Amino acid sequence: MSEQFHQVLVIGGGVAGCTSALYGKRYGLDAALVERGAPGGQTATASLVENYPGFPGGISGLELAQRVHQQTEEAGIVFYNDAVEKLERESHGWRLQGERGTYRAPAVILALGAAPRRLGVPGEAKLLGRGVSFCATCDGFFYRGKTVAVVGGGNSAVDEALYLSDIAEKVYLIHRRHELRAEAYLQERVFARANLEIIWDAVVAEVVGEVELGHVLLENVRTEERTALQVDGLFVAIGHAPQTAWLEGVTELTEGGFVATDCL
């Protein structure tokens, strides 16, 4: 395995990580990024980013992620495609152990992002990638002209449903409450889509299928009545969880599993 030394190592190649590395570079530091996946993080999966200054009319998440990564490359920031497995404190800094190499630096910035939360219901894990997905922009094209469902009621879920409504014949938005939590302008778009139907007060109790997804079993949170909903694809958008379990004992974590930071 190779061993690399830099003045600053940023773990995470999303927008936050790239921004941190860019600032380090502008201060004259030898900064590098370590990212296990594709550059851009969660931003790359957004169908349209409309709240980022400088892009009237919005910009696709993928294009924004690509531009950010391009800027880091042009700044001379080294990008390591590796998964960090261990972080250890040394006398003069930190040692990162990855699957492909070892990295050392006096300073480390954690920009880990988060991973999609799972429903945790029977059948979900078994059918992951065979009808169950966490990314409409990644997998939506598989369901052109088909029937799909999105679980959630926040901005991410509504954005996924809107994106899929341009691809699928029918889209169901399943939400456990009787009102959406998404921003008003997104709700207006949802209510205006003819092929998009909201199923209120419902949760997914089970994902059913042998080789691929056949249907989902819904449970009404008020009556506990269960009904089957035939869909070809299920997109889960119920938030994200921090990927910090490997940092226990290394740095302080909050009750929610996030890295504790100073209050500003």
String of DSSP letters for 159-211: HHHHHHHTTSSEEEEE-SSSS--S-HHHHHHHHH-TTEEEE-SEEEEEEE-SS
Note whether 236 and 160 are within 8 A (CB): no
Which amino acid makes up residue 264? L
The catalytic residue positions are 135, 138-139
CA angle 70, 76, 77 (to 5 degrees): 80
Note whether 10 and 30 are within 8 A (CB): no
Per the document, the length of the chain is 264
Question: What is the three-class DSSP state of 55?
Answer: coil
Work out whether strand 233-236 and strand 147-151 pair parallel, antiparallel, or are unpaired: parallel
String of DSSP letters for 205-240: EEEE-SSS--EEEEEETTT--EEEEE-SEEEE-S-E
Which amino acid makes up residue 158? V
Sign of the C-alpha dihedral computed for residues 99, 259, 48 and 162 taken in this order: positive
